[in-house]
Amino acid sequence: MIQLKSDSEIDGIRTSGHMLAEMFEEIGPQIQAGMSTWDVDKLFHDWMKRHHAGAPCVGYMGYPAATCVSVNDMVIHGIPSKTEILKDGDVVSVDICLEKNGFISDSTHTYEIGHVSPDVHKLNIETEKSLYLGIEAAGKPGARIQDIAAAVSGHCRKFGYGVVRDYCGHGVGFELHEDPEIPNYVSLMNPNPRIRKGMVFAIEPMINMGTYRIKTDPDGWGVRTADGKPACHWEHTVAMTDSGLEILTRI
């Protein structure tokens, strides 16, 4: 069931989202070659602790870290590790949920480490662009959820990219994952509710350079591209308000 949020509840999620945006702005530039993915997680988790914010990913269904740090062919849910070292040419997505005063926001940024290949850079640029095209579609009068999917997939498929189908965006605010699901591909099998005032959800294109198919690591968390090619992931939490669609995880 979709939970419509009141203005005061959206304000609480907005506060959480702005903190998350501030954290990315401060910590993101510190990510560099030679760091482990565990180091990356610690930078963000320490920031949350200093600012008295919660890390709701810790312990969620047994997940062991505050962030998901996914490198190269890891699409999502990469568990931070002291032995996985970032190197020049890597692409790494950092997916974070932040809780403040009981309200949760969710956002993902993908970082290029040093000098990436032109193909990887283009994948990252176009994935981020598809996120904003999805947000633009969601904000149009009378928009439905699959309008987001059409905008994201329509853009990415122009470049021959694979649009991940097994995972999707979602409602957020009170819990990490709420209704509705926000797929990035169009299907008659998917629900297609109209976007209404009070809806708060995360739009998150997960785009692969090759096939859309994925496989799961033995740890049960890490999700990789089936063909080993790179993936990129971008995400914002948005809310439909009286003034229109607002990006809550951007300052």
CA-to-CA separations, 154 to 85, 133, 183, 186, 245, in angstroms, rounded: 35, 10, 13, 9, 21
Strands (E), 34-157: 67-71, 74-76, 91-100, 103-112
Residue pLDDT, tens place only, 58-68: 999 999 999 99
Within a domain: 1: no
Counted domains in the chain: 1
Rg, Å, the chain Cα set: 17
| Residue 42, SS3 per DSSP | helix
Digit-by-digit pLDDT tens for the chain (251 residues) are 999 999 999 999 999 999 999 999 999 999 999 999 999 999 999 999 999 999 999 999 999 999 999 999 999 999 999 999 999 999 999 999 999 999 999 999 999 999 999 999 999 999 999 999 999 999 999 999 999 999 999 999 999 999 999 999 999 999 999 999 999 999 999 999 999 999 999 999 999 999 999 999 999 999 999 999 999 999 999 999 999 999 999 98
CA-to-CA separations, 213 to 105, 172, 226, in angstroms, rounded: 28, 26, 5
Within a domain: 240: yes
Within a domain: 178: yes
| CATH number (domain holding residue 122) | 3.90.230.10
Within a domain: 2: no
| Residue 100, SS3 per DSSP | strand
Within a domain: 200: yes
Within a domain: 216: yes
Residue recorded with tokens 């990415």 = 156
Domain range for 65: 7-247
Within a domain: 207: yes
Phi, psi dihedral angles at 55 (to 5 degrees):
-115, 85
